[in-house]
Amino acid sequence: AGVKMPFTSDCSLYEVRPLAKSTKRLLIGTIPDKEPEPVAWTNSYKKSRIFYTSLGHPDDFGNAQFRRLLINAVFWAMNKPVPKPKETK
């Protein structure tokens, strides 16, 4: 139930680097003439699972792949199985 690539968004690209070495980058954003920036990543802290995204412009919520990213992230953070797409609305 992964996010299909390529994933596109027309929102701004925020600078979030540097990230901790333990961070797992999930999506990298690019804009011409700028350095690529992570736009979604995971990490852990003690027993907690952390998900972050700089995406979230109102238009992003109309993108099924963005909604799938958020669903996957919530279930991953809860350490629960990710539901298949037809099980979510």
Encode pLDDT of 46-71 as tens digits.
Answer: 999 999 999 999 999 999 899 999 99
| CA-CA-CA-CA dihedral for 62, 11, 67, 49, to nearest 10 | -160
Separation CA 68–CA 57 (nearest Å): 15
Q: Categorize the per-residue pLDDT at 89 as very low, low, confident or very high, splitting at 50, 70 and 90.
A: low
- pTM for the structure as a whole: 0.83
Domain locations in the chain as residue ranges = 24-29+38-80
Instruction: Give residue-wise pLDDT tens across range 13-49.
Output: 888 889 999 999 999 998 888 889 999 999 999 999 9
CA–CA dist 76, 73 (Å, integer): 5
Structure confidence at residue 16 (pLDDT): 86
Type of residue numbered 14: Y
Predicted local distance difference test score (pLDDT) of residue 1: 56
